[in-house]
Structure 1
């Protein structure tokens, strides 16, 4: 990440917004600000940030509605989005992840942990996915599945799938080593690095989302009970 990355901080509490921006700027990031959902959508459309930190409880358009618009109405699956919210009920966390958030951080938060999340997610989003059965350009081809990490494109039987950055990384990790069984902790480390505080539950949610998006191809992602998951080239 040699070039400066721009982070959009969507937060209606000025003190919290300033705190987040301060710590990001200290680490070399440029920051943009939005205090409402409507303002956030305008900034995303106009300024194309590299990553979004999204509060949920916003005036007017809620954070969840911002997420729905970005992921489904606009189809921006490649934009990394981290929810940062005081709403920590499991239902909210699962809903946010299912709508396409790449991670969910509860308030109050550690600024160091937040910055570590930002760095890890940007590193993953801008790095080639793990190699496997593919060419020198890191393409992955397993059975009916093909993936092009450079273009953030994934196809099942020539049908393109709209995957978030996290879903893409998860599928690439599993498909790069067909038949290998990964524990949830190994998946977390393989996707993000051990410094990335994502939960095992969020991996399960993203696996479920991947299976839905892949249709019949989702059967290739096998649950190994008591251990984790694997990708089989014959679903």
Structure 2
């Protein structure tokens, strides 16, 4: 069975219910996974828990403003590199500059074209995850050739079974993001295949042993009560 690439995860931070519904509809139709927050505090909590691939952030929010949310996202190690698009009714040049100065990567003024917004999000994802556009994935000294189906670490060939290869590919495509066992089962084994969640642990152990053999540090991080991530321990 052909493995489907995981959908990019977008965190939509917006307190206007009708606009959230519109954004969710258009994003999901274009192949994105959507999670949502209605205020700045919830946004920061979700961003740390799920580490989205991109944040679509309203300027005017309850509790914590969009500008302050953006600043805090840029200070957190786990979200520092996540692209942020500010979404606001403010159109003056000074406000745009302020939004970009706070760490935003792009700026979309309401009302907006859903098609243009999607195009901007895709462009940001290509820049933030360039490996997805090519035939190779890389993290630290680990390289994966998707065409030749080969994996090397620090010049050493690594031999993986088909399941470990799919598992590693998914983790390399979403570096730093933590996945639960259930999420990994759904993506790597498929939603229609019944496998015990603990099976993931077995394959993670095999993968960890293969890629870390003779290496100085472990590239797979186990997050207690959460899951696994391709993320070197600090």
Pairwise TM-score range, normalised by the shorter structure: 0.5 to 0.7
Instruction: Tell me the residue number matched to 2:121.
Output: 118
Give the stretch that moved more between structures: 65-74 or 51-60. Answer: 65-74
1:202-221 to 2 correspondences below 5 Å: none
Count of residue correspondences: 135
Deviation at 1:77, TM superposition (A): 2.7
Q: Which residue in the other structure is 1:48 paired with?
A: 51
Q: Is residue 21 from structure 1 mapped to residue 15 from structure 2 by the alignment?
A: no
**What is the alpha-carbon distance in structure 2 between the residues aligned to residue 150 and residue 86 of structure 1?**
39
Provide structure 2 residue ranges, at least 5 long, that are not aligned to the other structure: 141-234
Report the equivalent of 1:172.
Answer: none
Check whether the contact 1:53–1:81 (CA below 8 A) recurs between aligned residues.
Answer: yes
2:91 is the alignment partner of 1:76: no
TM-score (norm 2): 0.53
How far is the alpha carbon of 1:33 from its aligned partner?
0.5
How far apart, in 2, do the equivalents of 1:46 and 1:88 lie?
Answer: 32
Could you tell me which of 29, 34, 37 is aligned with 1:31?
Answer: 34
Structure 1: gaps spanning 5 or more residues: 129-136, 139-148, 152-235
Q: Does 1:12 align with 2:19?
A: no
Specify which of 83, 100, 118 is matched with residue 103 of structure 2: 100
Contact 1:70 1:76 in 2 (8 A): yes
Kindly name which structure, 1 or 2, has the bigger radius of gyration based on alpha carbons.
Answer: 2
CA shift, 1:118, in A, is 1.0
- Tell me which stretches of 4 or more aligned residues in structure 1 moved more than 3 Å: 73-76
Quote the RMSD (CA, aligned, Å).
2.4
1:222 corresponds in structure 2 to none
- Number of the residue aligned with 1:177: none
Contact 1:82 1:101 (C-alpha < 8 Å) held by counterparts:
yes
Deviations 1:18-54 (A, max 9, x none): 1011000001111000010001001101111110000
- C-alpha separation in 1, matches of 2:79 and 2:50: 14
The separation in 2 between residues aligned to 1:75 and 1:48, in whole angstroms, is: 7
